[in-house]
Amino acid sequence: MKKFVLVFMAVLLIFNITASATETLNVTDEVSATENYYLNNRLEISGYEEALALAQLGYKIDGEEFSLNKEDAGLVAADIDNTDGSEIGLMSKFILVALSSGKNPSTYVEGKDLVAMLIAKQGVDGDFGGSIYSHFIAMLALDAAKADYNKTKATEWLISQQDADGGFGYWGYSDTDSTAMMLWALAGHRDVAGTEDVINGALSYIKTQQAANGGFLGWVQDGGGNWVQEESASTDSVVITALVDLGKDPFSLEYKGLANRLLAFKNTNGSYRISINGEQTFDGFSTAQTFFALVSMKNGRSPFKMLSSTNFAFSTAHWNPSMTATADGILMGVAENTSIEDFLASITLDSGVTVKLIDKDLLQINDANYTGIYTKVGTGVSIEVYVYGALDVEKSYTVSVKGDLDGDCEATISDLAIMKQHLLLISELSGAYLSAGDLCNDTSISISDLIKMKKHILGIDS
C-alpha cells in the first residue's frame, strides 16, 4: 500500500510539473487582470511605459483617470536645460508622456517646444547624445510625435553601434535588454539600407541568450540588496515587445513560447514581481514592463508604434482584383467552387499578416488539424485578419458567393428554395447571404434574381 501511495504521489508530481510547463498565457485575460490591478491599486503611476500602455486602453493620463507622479518618474522640468546628455532622455520621456495624455508635446512644458529642442540635439553623425540609450528613446519619441528629423542618419548611427556578436550594449559588451530596446527603435525604420541585416543579427544574438525554458537572464536584486543574474520579468518583457514590433510570434516554438514565461512572475493581484524566486510582492518596474508587453501583444504592435503609425508600415491583406470588400465587411467576387488552396493563393499578405478561415461551426478551415466538412470557400465563411502576432482580430470579413445561399460553395436547387422563402417573407436573408442572392446587383432580391438563378442552375445563362 505504501508503495502504491508513493507511486501515485510521483504521478501527481509529474502531472503538476507538466501542467505548469505547458500553461498558456491568455493575453486578453492578463491585460484585463493587470488593468484591474492599476485601477484598484495604482491610480498614481510613475513611468512612461505605464502611461503609454494605459492610454492605449483608452484611459486619460496626467491628472484625469490616472495621475502621473512626475517626481517619481524622474520628470523634472528644470532639468530639461541640462547640457550633460541627460536632457535627451528627459525630453524624450516628457514627449511620450504628453502624447499618452493627449497633449501637444510642443506646449506640454511651459515655454519649451520639446520636439524642436530634441531635434536640435541630433548630431552631425545622426546621433542623439552619443549613447545608445539616449539615442533609441529619442528616436521612439520623435517617431511617436511624427517629427521631421533626420531618420536615415539616426538609423545609420544606431546600426553602427551593433557589436560583432549581433547584440547591443553600453558597458563594452552586449546584453539582452539593450539589444531588445534597440530593436524597438529599429522596427520603425526597416526601409533604411542595412537595417534588416542588423535586425536579423540582433535576433540571432537574442536566441543565443535564451534559456531552454524560454526565459532570459536579467539583473535583479536579491534579499540582501545584491545584484545577481537570474530570469527577469522585465527582460522577458522587453524582448516580447521587440518581437511583436518585428512581426514575430512570442508564443512560437522559434522563441520557445517566451510569452508564456510571464505567468511565472504573476502575483495573485494582477501585478508582477521581478524574480521567479521572489515573494508575491509588487515590483513597479517589472509590472510596468510586463503590462507594456501584454498590451503590445493584445494590439499586435507596441504603444510606440501605435502612436507613430505614419512611420510604421501597417500590414494588411490584399484581395485578388476580382474580389472587393464592402465597408460592412462582406467580401464579394469569390467564384463558385473555389477551393481553400486556390482562395489562399489568390490573396497577398503583407509581412506579419496571417489569416484564418472560419466555417459556420467556428472551426478554422485552413488549420492542418481541421476536422470540419468544408474544402471550398462558400458564403458565410469568415476571414479573420491578424497583424504582427496579435491575438485579437484586426479585421474580419464574411465571404459572399453569388447564388450560394446555403454556404455549400455553389448555386443549386436548395439555394433557389431559400430565395423563394426570402421573397415570400418566410425566412429573410441578410448580410453576406442577401448579397449572395442579389444576382442583379441592385442591393435587393426580387423576381428578377429568382429568374436569373433558375437560368444559372439550368446552364442557360451562366
* C-alpha cell at position 194: 542595412
Range(s) for CATH 1.50.10.20 in the chain?
28-311
Instruction: Report the distance separating Cα 290 and Cα 295, nearest Å.
Output: 9
* C-alpha cell at position 227: 545584484
| CATH number of the 317-458 domain | 1.10.1330.10
Look at residues 303, 297, 291 and name the one whose alpha carbon lies nearest to residue 390. 297
Range(s) for CATH 1.10.1330.10 in the chain?
317-458
Look at residues 442, 458, 18, 26 and name the one whose alpha carbon lies nearest to residue 259. 26
Each of the 462 residues of the chain gets a pLDDT tens digit; together they read: 444 444 434 444 433 333 344 578 898 899 999 999 999 998 888 888 898 899 888 887 866 678 888 887 788 888 899 999 999 999 999 999 888 887 888 888 887 899 999 999 999 999 999 899 999 999 999 999 888 899 999 999 999 999 999 999 988 899 999 999 999 999 999 999 999 999 999 999 999 999 999 999 887 766 667 777 888 899 999 999 999 999 899 998 999 999 999 999 998 888 898 877 665 565 788 899 999 999 999 888 898 888 876 443 334 667 777 888 887 889 999 999 999 999 998 888 765 577 899 998 899 998 888 888 888 999 999 998 876 455 667 778 999 999 999 998 989 999 999 999 999 999 999 999 999 999 998 889 999 999 999 988 888 865
| CATH number of the 28-311 domain | 1.50.10.20
Give one DSSP letter per residue of 108-142, joined into a string: SBTTB-HHHHHHTTB-TTS-BTTSHHHHHHHHHHH
* 3-state secondary structure string across 286-313: HHHHHHHHHHHHHHCCCHHHHHCHHHCC
* C-alpha cell at position 447: 423576381
Angle between helix axes 27-41 and 48-56 (nearest 10 degrees) is 120
| Residue 256: Cβ within 10 Å count | 18
